[in-house]
Amino acid sequence: MQINRNTRLTLAKLVMLSITILVSILSFVMGRGGSDTPILNISWIFVPSPLILLALIYINRISHLIRVAAIIYIGLSVIVTGLLLLGVAWTGSETALHPDICEDMEELSDYPNLAKNTENVEFQAADGTLLKGWINFGTSNQAILLLHGYRCDKRAMLKEANMLYETGFTVLLFDFRHNGESEGDFVSFGYYEKQDVTAAINKLRSLDAERHPVKSDRLASIGILGQSNGGATALLFAAENPGEIQAMVVDSSFKSLDSAVAQSFTHFVGLPAFPFAPITVWITELKTGISRKNIVPEEAVKKITNTPIFIIHGLLDETISKDDSESIFANANEPKQLWLVPGADHGETFTSAETEYSRRVVRFFTRTLN
């Protein structure tokens, strides 16, 4: 059945009206949420685009010059809004891959006993990336690998390292790729950082073998304490390397890359997750060649068996919701524990409940690594 000319015109008008309404909504959202990004203020100009289109459709007495200007305005509103949308997503992707460094991290000198017994170490990941860290050999034959969070470096784990070292554990903390003193082109949210964990464990075992020529004296077990991105990396690593570690503490992890980016847009940028986050993740995939499907800790945890997992999250976390850790916990196999820390923001669970945190974490590792 053929569609007559009037019907086609009506459909075309409806399509254009739908597009201009979408442009108007996006322009309003970007203008309102872009207070820290002056270029987004341009988007306010295009908020009235549906009204201009309606005027073109229903008002006959409009001069040719004004009609042409209105058509140009509507065309620009679609093009510029689309470019701004892609620009926000591209900038978000660049910021995600090359984040600014954390502020106010502690220094090794803040922990004198830890500092005087610290040895510098360096090692290479499988792809040749040079990584640097610190190791402290404890009095027991158990070791803990400490994995820092997004934007931070090994200094962010000094408090936890000191706590565990004072208890007798050997501790190894290092900078993930593209952080601190380590090499690397970008942050990959755990995908390539899994290689870093493998290299760190291999280094730990080789150093231990040098110190203990008798095999029976060597490390009996290794645990991981990972925070935020470090926690997500720990889950991704353990899922692919069964038996490499014997216990895990996962603090403030995200459940998927999609979830982390979506929440970051809302928290840091002031823009809604949709449609900005999905486009940002898509651009990130194009830049890195990494599929979002390979960075889903809540799915990875299903593959981890016979490894005790202790999941921790702050109830006041506004960066990554506690719901992410609850989802990871729901998918985890036994034995598992979950502790939601009252009053704690992102990465502040130890600071907010230091005594209880120390008691619970030390007890967990003591019981599971023996």
pTM: 0.91
Cα 137 from Cα 175, distance rounded (Å): 18
Domain final position from 97, 122, 139: 97
* Residue located via tokens 């982390």: 260
Q: Is 76 left (phi over 0), alpha (psi -120 to 50) or beta?
A: alpha
Residues 6 or more apart whose CB falls under 8 angstroms from that of 114 comprise 108, 136, 158, 161, 162, 165
Asked whether residue 91 falls in the same domain as residue 205, the answer is: no
Let me know if residue 345 belongs to a domain. yes
Tokens of 269: 């940028």
Asked whether residue 50 falls in the same domain as residue 128, the answer is: no
Q: Which domain, by its residues, includes 137?
A: 110-256+295-369
Domain final position from 71, 97, 123: 97
pLDDT confidence of residue 269: 73
Residues 6 or more apart whose CB falls under 8 angstroms from that of 345 comprise 314, 316, 317, 318, 319, 352
Asked whether residue 250 falls in the same domain as residue 145, the answer is: yes
Residues 6 or more apart whose CB falls under 8 angstroms from that of 274 comprise 262
Q: How far is CA 104 from the centre of its chain?
A: 20
Asked whether residue 84 falls in the same domain as residue 123, the answer is: no
Cα 243 from Cα 368, distance rounded (Å): 13
pLDDT confidence of residue 6: 72
Question: If we measure between CA atoms, which residue out of 143, 282, 283, 138 comes closest to residue 201?
Answer: 143
Asked whether residue 89 falls in the same domain as residue 122, the answer is: no
pLDDT confidence of residue 35: 59
Total domains in the fold of the chain: 2
Q: Are 296 and 227 in contact (CB under 8 A)?
A: no
> What does the angle CA 322 – CA 150 – CA 37 come to, to the nearest 5 degrees?
95
Half-sphere exposure of 255 (CA within 13 A, CB side): 19
pLDDT confidence of residue 1: 44
Let me know if residue 311 belongs to a domain. yes
Asked whether residue 114 falls in the same domain as residue 162, the answer is: yes
The torsion angles phi and psi of 249, rounded to 5 degrees, stand at -110, 120
If DSSP states are collapsed to H, E and C, what string results for 224-288? EEEECHHHHHHHHHHHHCCCCCCEEEEECCCCCHHHHHHHHHHHHHCCCHHHHHHHHHHHHHHHH
Domain final position from 97, 125, 159: 97
pLDDT confidence of residue 239: 98
Let me know if residue 333 belongs to a domain. yes
Q: Give the CATH number of the domain where residue 225 resides.
A: 3.40.50.1820
Let me know if residue 284 belongs to a domain. no
Give the DSSP per-residue string, 67-130.
HHHHHHHHHHHHHHHHHHHHHHHHHHHHHHHSPPPPSS---GGGSHHHHHT-EEEEEE-TT--E
Let me know if residue 64 belongs to a domain. yes
Asked whether residue 226 falls in the same domain as residue 161, the answer is: yes
Question: If we measure between CA atoms, which residue out of 319, 309, 310 comes closest to residue 347?
Answer: 319
Asked whether residue 128 falls in the same domain as residue 44, the answer is: no
14-21 long-range contacts (CB < 8 A, ≥24 apart) are 16/53, 16/74, 17/50, 17/53, 17/54, 19/78, 20/49, 20/50, 20/52, 20/53, 20/74, 20/77, 20/78, 21/50
Question: If we measure between CA atoms, which residue out of 150, 135, 52 comes closest to residue 102?
Answer: 150
Cα 215 from Cα 209, distance rounded (Å): 8
* Residue located via tokens 């995908």: 191
Asked whether residue 139 falls in the same domain as residue 223, the answer is: yes
Q: How many residues does the chain have?
A: 370
Let me know if residue 198 belongs to a domain. yes
Asked whether residue 149 falls in the same domain as residue 76, the answer is: no
Tokens of 55: 């005027």
| Mean pLDDT per 10-residue section of the chain, whose length is 370 residues | 67 89 92 74 92 89 90 94 93 92 92 96 97 96 96 96 97 97 96 98 94 83 97 98 96 97 81 89 95 97 97 96 98 98 95 96 95
Let me know if residue 262 belongs to a domain. no
Question: If we measure between CA atoms, which residue out of 128, 242, 230, 237 comes closest to residue 189?
Answer: 230
Asked whether residue 173 falls in the same domain as residue 232, the answer is: yes
pLDDT confidence of residue 167: 96
Asked whether residue 77 falls in the same domain as residue 161, the answer is: no
